[in-house]
Structure 1
Amino acid sequence: MSGGANFKERTVQNILLQFFRDDRTKVNAEALNLMTELLNIFVSEAVLRTVNEAKKDHQDQIPLDYFEKILPQLLLDF
């Protein structure tokens, strides 16, 4: 996905490890790759929907309200 979000796998791995209860839990390369791609798509889609919502109201800047507006549907779609 060009021009979209681009998280590093190491960053995603560190985020995931913070939520594991057992310190011995590991993330294999395939799962890490999948989670990184999912996060990239999710964030890119959130930005795109937020921008489109702001464009409908002819806004030059995008306040947080627009993100809050698209968030429920975005979470349902994912």
Structure 2
Amino acid sequence: MAEKEVTFKKETVSKLLTSFFKEEKTKLSGNAALLMAEMLKVFVQEAAQRSLKQADTEDCDQVDIEHLEKILPQLLLDF
């Protein structure tokens, strides 16, 4: 099975991050947005892999939201 490449657009990440800035003077560099996009990519891939492993442990044929919910606390602690 071929792996699909997970990507996040730099512009989308920039808008998401800047929407949480409290002061209008706060700026976000292009490199910071690219770094955050890469971190989101790693986070999503890790969440998918851990959810798949949880589903396999439970002898399930597909990954459901419940599998993600089970791995989420440890995933958040790891990041």
**Cα distance per residue 1:39-61 (max 9 Å; x no partner):** 11001100111011101222122
Residues 31-42 of structure 1: pairs in structure 2 closer than 5 A:
31-42=32-43
Unaligned runs of 5+ in 2: none
**Cα distance per residue 1:16-55 (max 9 Å; x no partner):** 0110011232111111111111011001100111011101
Cα 1:54–1:40 change in 2 (3 A) is same
Q: Match for 1:29: what amino acid?
A: G
The runs of at least 4 consecutive aligned structure 1 residues that moved more than 2 Å come to 2-5
Residues 1-78 of structure 1: pairs in structure 2 closer than 5 A:
3-78=4-79
TM-score by length of 2: 0.86
Which structure is richer in relative contact order (CA contacts within 8 A, separation 6 or more)? 1
CA RMSD of aligned residues (A): 1.4
TM-score by length of 1: 0.87
What is the aligned-residue identity percentage? 43
